[in-house]
Amino acid sequence: MAAKPNRGRYTSKTNLVARTAAQMLLLKPVVWRMVQVNVHGTEHLGTVEGPFIAVANHSSHLDAALVFGSMPRRLSQNMATGAAADYFFDKWWKAAPTSLFFNAFPIERGTRARKGMETELQNPRARRGLAGQLLSDGVPLLIFPEGTRSRTGAMGPFVPGAAALSISRNVPVIPVALVGAFAAWPYQQSTPPRGRPPVHIAYGRPMIPQPGEIAHTFNERIRRQVIELHDSTATAYGMPTLAEYARTLAIEKARRAVGTGDAAASAPPTVETSVTPVLDTTPPEPSAGTTPTDAPDI
């Protein structure tokens, strides 16, 4: 029989003391030294009590640290974020710091569990529904509904897991926009940012589902609010908006399509083509959300 998750560790006072020390003495000073952090909208959080779900766009290695470090401590002290079980929890030396800094819980990304995996960190059945159980225990969650970091700066579609959890557990959603994080430390950049580029964290008013509202509709409202927060902040400080990132991406795709069409038109006709399949050996990216296919990289 699979072992049940030890949910007590997410609210343990001992773990809270260790996590607070690690975040305030190590994580936050390091990240705040890398980038110029500007926080907006925390006045909207004054009425938040009890568990909630913070939902943010995801474009940088810094995202989770920025949210944990900028949110008022009374709200973030026990906040937990999901992390891909097969990436962050496959080795103890990755699981330990991930749990320490972010109170992280493992999420199965839809792959089959290997035989013999019977622990909380390994068995997908033991983790099923853990996000909802944590909310019931009073533990707030940080979720990146895009499922992975943006490769282009444009924001992808949101998986509706966070919206569904909000509806089923009757907890508010706090929209969070991270502005400038992609420019500071984009996906393809392996080294930390230099020159302390500016990053803005904008908190919106807590959102609750309307009576009878389904998850997909609420999810789209949340996504639009994150976009509005991001672009209004970016415009105010002369930084690229999500609309500009999306427009640049669309132009680049159109150019590639035109180039491919030109090449096809000029190529000589062929009778038969032999295609050799190429396996993508790149390890899967950690992703975020609340279902087995939505684990965030944090």
Of the chain, the percentage scoring pLDDT greater than 90 comes to 66
* Cβ atoms within 10 Å of 139's Cβ, excluding its own: 18
Our CA dihedral for 291, 143, 29, 154, rounded to 10 degrees, sits at 110
Q: In what order do the strands lie in the sheet with 80-84?
A: 36-40, 198-203, 173-179, 53-56, 141-143, 80-84, 105-107
Whether the pLDDT of residue 173 is over 80: the answer is yes
The answer to whether residues 59 and 178 touch, using CB atoms and an 8 Å cutoff, is yes
Binned at pLDDT 50, 70 and 90, residue 163 comes out as very high
Structure tokens at 14: 């001992």
Average pLDDT over residues 16-44: 97
Q: Which residue has the higher pLDDT, 56 or 122?
A: 56
Between 7-16, 127-136, 274-283, 287-296, the lowest mean confidence (pLDDT) is in 274-283
3-state secondary structure of 137: coil
pLDDT digits (tens, 9 = 90+) for 213-254: 999 999 999 999 999 999 999 999 999 999 999 999 899 889
Which strand (E) or helix (H) includes residue 162?
helix 161-169
pLDDT of 128 = 61
pLDDT digits (tens, 9 = 90+) for 96-140: 999 999 999 887 755 433 333 333 344 444 456 899 999 999 999
Our CA dihedral for 17, 18, 24, 28, rounded to 10 degrees, sits at -140
Nearest alpha carbon to residue 75 among 65, 67, 66, 87? 67
Query: How high does pLDDT run on average in the chain?
Result: 84
pLDDT of 261 = 64
Q: What whole-number distance in Å separates Cα of residue 57 and Cα of residue 84?
A: 17
Q: What whole-number distance in Å separates Cα of residue 270 and Cα of residue 137?
A: 64
Binned at pLDDT 50, 70 and 90, residue 287 comes out as very low
User: What domains are there in the chain, each with its CATH number?
Assistant: 7-242 (3.40.1130.10)
